[in-house]
Structure 1
């Protein structure tokens, strides 16, 4: 099959900023539309192979960068007054509205990687979704983090993040190999969430709790036993906030697909197209058509 060419679009987020997105169109009539919501500090280019594959399967697939990330970074980060809730209520909401309009009556899917799954209830128009799929997503509460990073998380939240952000005017995570560069409002809000046992609900209060309660779209979670960031408890905590949504939580060991490692980011590697993408994900997006996939 010919290589899928991505169409670049800028989208007004309704708050005075333009958001970069890429649209991957199938060769024929789409069977559905998929919006890929990125993880914290991960640029949309990371999902390009995955989105192209979705287009090859007949879906219109869309990726985007949150304000201040990737191609949506048009001014120095220290000049941006933005937090994670803004990413949900403005950036992701604006992109979802565009995708929903383009999709018309087609099934519409949200694939949220890590924080892209955490913000879904705060995104306007999520009621239109046919299904939510979360990838390597958990609460982020540091005491529930996997043992591999728990000590590093303590150092990050109690030392590096507050100190470096105060000095630089943004979080220079890229320089120290921790998460990535982030606007000050994003890292400070995320820090408050990660220090609270109930994560964003514990910090933001009842409005956010009600937003999670209000989600009734069927949800599938794909998490991985070797995720270096999200433990099984992290995953259970986050999805426990979705009290009204029908949920199917699937925790996958690399050995189940004959792999040595998956981790927090591995799902989106092109090498997993025959396994994680085709056999685990596609049946969630096209259950009737994919029922015979072994």
Structure 2
């Protein structure tokens, strides 16, 4: 057995499809178990990309569970065009399946939900977050395109008004791999995302009061980590998303690359091994 045992778990959701989660166990040489961290990925970011961070968490004494949403990474049964999922179904079926797995395998242990980008949105999309003791959101904000950080804003209008409407209805999925923009995404995911990003209040602006009330029902304490050089999320995006969690105790921590002796953090990449100073300096206090 390796120092950090990684086990793969196929999970059947209430909708009948299968997603794949993986568990990272605390080695016998590590500190006593402090609880469970669930890493909820950003859109189109496969779970294995968080492995460095997951292993580091085990070294701090946490059990870790990662997973791929339906249509992403290991959770693609056939070609992505056959996936019928969207972001709300990820929250309705995939995330609860992961939480059920965690509660079954790590009973009575505190659960920390670490949500990267849309992984944080899942807190407001899920029917019930009562099993989650604490949440850490990372690079998480609304997708309203005209509020996006400048690098994303320059291309978002083309993506949402031209590229997605031209390719997705024809192919039945978003061909991100071929276009070298994100990755392949299910039709339901990209089209729903587009609808939301064209609204001032993002998903709530499109879906309406039922979703606003669901965000407001979340009382899980949240620590929000935001990066000053995030090339996707502006601080306006970040603050708007977290304002929807109006009944959750919150702390916003703003981090610049210079704070952790880096030239860049951005939106994707903070979970790579070279950012261990970031983890030590900001995640450890957030984990409590």
Q: Same fold (TM over 0.5)?
A: yes
Q: Distance in 2 between matches of 1:168 and 1:248?
A: 43
* Structure 1, gaps ≥5 residues long: 288-294
2:108 corresponds, among 105, 108, 111, to: 105
Normalized against structure 2, the TM-score is what? 0.96
Contact 2:3/2:27, CA 8 A, preserved across alignment: no
Q: Does 1:249 align with 2:249?
A: no
Q: Distance in 1 between matches of 2:3 and 2:197?
A: 40
Normalized against structure 1, the TM-score is what? 0.94
1:235 corresponds, among 238, 241, 245, to: 238
Q: Distance in 2 between matches of 1:190 and 1:100?
A: 30
Contact 1:97/1:125, CA 8 A, preserved across alignment: no
Shift of 1:175: 1.1
Shift of 1:30: 2.0
Question: Could you list the per-position Cα deviations for residues 82-139 of structure 1 after superposition, in whole angstroms to 9, with x for gaps in the alignment?
Answer: 1110111101111011112322222110000000001212224411211110001110
Contact 1:213/1:242, CA 8 A, preserved across alignment: yes
The root-mean-square deviation of aligned C-alpha atoms, in Å, is 1.2
Question: Could you list the per-position Cα deviations for residues 211-270 of structure 1 after superposition, in whole angstroms to 9, with x for gaps in the alignment?
Answer: 100011110010101111101111011111110001101111111111111000121011
1:283 corresponds, among 263, 282, 285, to: 285
Comparing 114-123 with 33-42, which one deviates more in the overlay?
A: 114-123
Q: Distance in 2 between matches of 1:11 and 1:148?
A: 37
Shift of 1:76: 1.4
Q: Distance in 1 between matches of 2:169 and 2:127?
A: 32
Partner SS, residue 158 of structure 1: helix
Contact 1:96/1:125, CA 8 A, preserved across alignment: no
Contact 1:111/1:132, CA 8 A, preserved across alignment: yes
Q: Distance in 1 between matches of 2:144 and 2:51?
A: 29
Q: Distance in 1 between matches of 2:73 and 2:111?
A: 25
Partner SS, residue 197 of structure 1: coil
Question: Who is 1:201 aligned against?
Answer: 204
After TM superposition, what 4+ stretches of structure 1 lie above 6 angstroms from structure 2?
none
Question: Who is 1:291 aligned against?
Answer: none
Shift of 1:179: 1.9
1:225 corresponds, among 207, 228, 233, to: 228
Comparing 124-133 with 182-191, which one deviates more in the overlay?
A: 124-133
Partner SS, residue 164 of structure 1: helix
Contact 2:5/2:27, CA 8 A, preserved across alignment: no
Partner SS, residue 280 of structure 2: helix
Comparing 116-125 with 91-100, which one deviates more in the overlay?
A: 116-125
Residues 132-281 of structure 1: matches in 2 within 5 Å? 132-273=135-276, 275-281=277-283
Partner SS, residue 267 of structure 1: coil
Q: Does 1:52 align with 2:55?
A: yes
Q: Does 1:66 align with 2:69?
A: yes
Q: Does 1:12 align with 2:15?
A: no
Question: Who is 1:43 aligned against?
Answer: 46
